[in-house]
Amino acid sequence: MAVTVFRDETADLLKKRLLEIYARKNPPECDKFHKLLKKVNKTLSGEDPDQRPRDASGRPGGVIYLIPDATTIIVPDIHARMELVLNVLLYEDRHGRSNLDKLSLGQLQVVCLGDGVHAEGRAAERWALALEEFKEDFATHEHMDEEMRESFGVMEMVMETKSSFPTTFHFLKGNHENIRNETGSGNFAYRKYAYEGAMVHRHVQIFYSKAFIEQYVVFEKNLPLLAIGNNFLISHAEPYTFFDHRQVVEYRNNPEVVKGMTWTDNDMAEDGSVQRMIGHYLGEEQIGQSYYFAGHRAISGRYRYKAESGFVQLHNPKKSIIAVIKPNEKIDLDIDIIEISDRFEANRHQ
């Protein structure tokens, strides 16, 4: 039977914009990116308080309530992989309906686990070359420009999509959302393959403006920490300890909440933290029945599952792994966590 496909103009324009970002050979221009930052910050500041409850100062808090009757795609740590973003958003099902179309109709919601910037192992050699450029204060900057093209390209895609579909596309704060490489407010300076945090900060100091950096910091501080579904919770990292609703909503005044939901090492969370979070946010009867999804530290395979708590870790930087959670269905990790292709195809079993 033929299916009539209704195209959404916003989705079509966004698809064109995402492909333009992907095809560009250089990092984004300061002025254009600055305008996009202002736009997305207006979107984040104006999120529906029923979906994102306000803190005591009237600002959107750290909790996002997901649409209960929409399919949810969970995208682990992105780390400058523009292809991963496109694979998810531009996939079309057998009827020709794209995931962007479904976002526009409220049939689908996407939750990214954060860490949009800083390419990982695939770019180790490039980081080493960029480090030499950094030592010369970027007198030359070919390799660092390539990193920034990918990292900021991802963040442009995130911001454009959030601005277009604010109720169905969400990007949670990860530990890499720290443009100033600060230590404080729950953040810590970062280095792994080189001095990534310091290198990115210096690059934007030289090639972007002070006003741009200030607006980017506002963006990072505006990002939520916890997404709540019917039978699952999502944050960047496993919660270090139990944080109640008010603590997470008031995250801007609680650096331990930011740290505890973005920086927890593998097997370092307090015993029982996940179960207490599930019980508090989903109901005591959901302990042992629901799941807590996060990324942060790298794993091998499709996922790492801690059966005693219900914690599911997704982040495999060598593969394009997503989780596809259908509403009102029991989650099956072996079916619902999938590896997608590298040619803009995702959630084949929708």
What is the pLDDT at residue 342? 61
Alpha carbon distance 235, 54 (integer Å): 19
Residues 181-190 pLDDT 10s: 999 999 999 9
Percent pLDDT > 70 in the chain is 95
What is the pLDDT at residue 203? 99
Residue 7 reports pLDDT greater than 80: no
Residues 19-34 pLDDT 10s: 999 999 999 999 999 9
Alpha carbon distance 219, 45 (integer Å): 9
Question: What is the mean predicted confidence (pLDDT) over 157-165?
Answer: 98
Residue 270 reports pLDDT greater than 90: yes
| Token pair 């920490």: residue | 225
What is the pLDDT at residue 8? 72
What Cα–Cα distance (Å) separates residue 295 from each residue in 32, 54, 221, 322?
31, 26, 20, 11
Residue 169 reports pLDDT greater than 60: yes
What is the pLDDT at residue 141? 99
Residues 285-308 pLDDT 10s: 999 999 999 999 999 999 999 999
Mean pLDDT in the chain?
95
41 pLDDT band (50/70/90 cuts)? very high
Angle at CA of residue 206, ends 146 and 191, nearest 5°:
60
Residues 213-267 pLDDT 10s: 999 999 999 999 999 999 999 999 999 999 999 999 999 999 999 999 999 999 9
What is the pLDDT at residue 53? 99
What is the pLDDT at residue 350? 39
Query: How many beta carbons lie within 10 A of that of residue 335, not counting itself?
Result: 11
Alpha carbon distance 62, 238 (integer Å): 15
Residue 280 reports pLDDT greater than 60: yes
Percent pLDDT > 90 in the chain is 94
What is the pLDDT at residue 343? 55
Question: What is the mean predicted confidence (pLDDT) over 126-135?
Answer: 99
- Which CATH number is associated with domain 9-339? 3.60.21.10
Residues 68-108 pLDDT 10s: 999 999 999 999 999 999 999 998 999 999 999 999 999 99
Residue 349 reports pLDDT greater than 50: no
Residue 348 reports pLDDT greater than 90: no
* Coil vs helix vs strand at 257: helix
Question: What is the mean predicted confidence (pLDDT) over 37-66?
Answer: 98
Alpha carbon distance 53, 92 (integer Å): 33
Q: Which residues, at least 6 apart from 43, have a Cβ–Cβ distance to it below 8 Å?
A: 162, 163, 166
Q: What does the block give as tokens for 293?
A: 């999804």
Amino acid at site 36 = L
